[in-house]
Amino acid sequence: AAHAGAQQPELLVTLPLAGVDGTLTRRLKDSPATGKARLKTGTLRDAVGLAGFVPDATGRPWVFVALVNHPQAAAKGRPVLDALVNWVAAQQ
């Protein structure tokens, strides 16, 4: 059997890069996470989510999963999720 981490590079390149491409092109720009965090976005009528991998300031990867479930999730939840990602990216 292959080592469990053998597919990690392939998985990472499928996730958009913060502030650079995909669904994160216009999010997390000019922040500690820009060009480093690889995250998948999710949106439903009353929910927004963000999940993936965020390296901290020392390069140590963190697994990040957050969900906001509220009628104003899209308007108010995305900035909260982005702030959490940036907080993780700035940790030392």
**How many domains does the structure of the chain reveal?**
1
Expressed as residue numbers, the domain containing 22 is 4-90
pLDDT, tens digit, for every residue of 18-76? 999 999 999 999 999 999 999 999 999 999 999 999 999 999 999 999 999 999 998 99
Across the chain, the runs of DSSP E, i.e. the strands, are 38-44, 47-55, 61-69
> HSE (CB half, 13 Å, CA atoms) of 89?
22
At residue 74, the pLDDT reads 86
At residue 17, the pLDDT reads 96
